[in-house]
């Protein structure tokens, strides 16, 4: 699948969450922005910094009408521990089969490391931001805040 780009209609998906529930992206259409951030692995230094930066700005996203959702290929149990340890207020998708990475066209960095890409999708389902940077954890949050108008 080709990479999703700004201006594209985001693919709809359902996926398992860290709490045993299911996230359905269609449930946000017409009501909320979606900030979907793909990251390589729970509890690694840059990933933890990024997740905590989204946590620290979560109220700004909520005030702008945006839902933040993290995605990595770790298990739901790993995500549950990660979310509890760092008091993450947003859902995290367990993309263990990497289906969502393929659906959005998230590349591997150096052909090995799962990419770090943030997508901002508006209320109509159009992609308004695609930001990819492996080591710039804070920049993902700042660009996403700007995209939702926060």
How much is the pLDDT for 1?
54
How much is the pLDDT for 115?
84
How much is the pLDDT for 107?
84
How much is the pLDDT for 150?
67
pLDDT digits (tens, 9 = 90+) for 94-147: 999 999 999 999 988 766 778 889 999 999 999 999 998 878 878 899 999 999
How much is the pLDDT for 116?
87
Contacts 24+ apart (CB under 8 A), 68-71: 68/35, 68/37, 69/23, 69/34, 69/35, 69/36, 69/37, 69/93, 70/37, 70/39, 71/15, 71/36, 71/37, 71/38, 71/39, 71/95, 71/100, 71/101
Please confirm, yes or no, whether 52 is among the known catalytic residues. Answer: no
- Answer whether residue 91 shows pLDDT above 80: yes
How much is the pLDDT for 137?
78
pLDDT digits (tens, 9 = 90+) for 61-84: 999 999 999 999 999 999 999 999
Choose, from 47, 106, 120, 148, the residue flagged as catalytic: 47
> Domains in the chain, please, with CATH?
22-148 (3.40.30.10)
């Amino acid at each position: 699948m080709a990479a999703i780009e700004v201006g594209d209609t985001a693919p709809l998906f359902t996926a398992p969450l860290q709490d045993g529930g299911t996230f359905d992206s269609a449930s946000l259409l017409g009501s909320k922005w979606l900030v979907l951030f793909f990251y390589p692995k729970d509890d690694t230094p840059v990933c933890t910094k990024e997740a905590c930066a989204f946590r620290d700005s979560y109220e700004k996203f909520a005030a702008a009408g945006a839902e933040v959702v993290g995605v990595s290929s770790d298990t739901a149990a790993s995500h549950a521990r990660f979310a509890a340890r760092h008091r993450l207020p947003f859902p995290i998708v367990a993309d263990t089969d990497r289906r969502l990475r393929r659906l959005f066209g998230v590349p591997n960095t150096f052909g090995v490391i799962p990419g770090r890409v943030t997508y901002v999708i508006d209320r109509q389902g159009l992609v308004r931001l695609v930001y990819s940077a492996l080591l710039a954890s804070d920049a993902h949050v700042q660009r996403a805040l700007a995209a939702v108008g926060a």
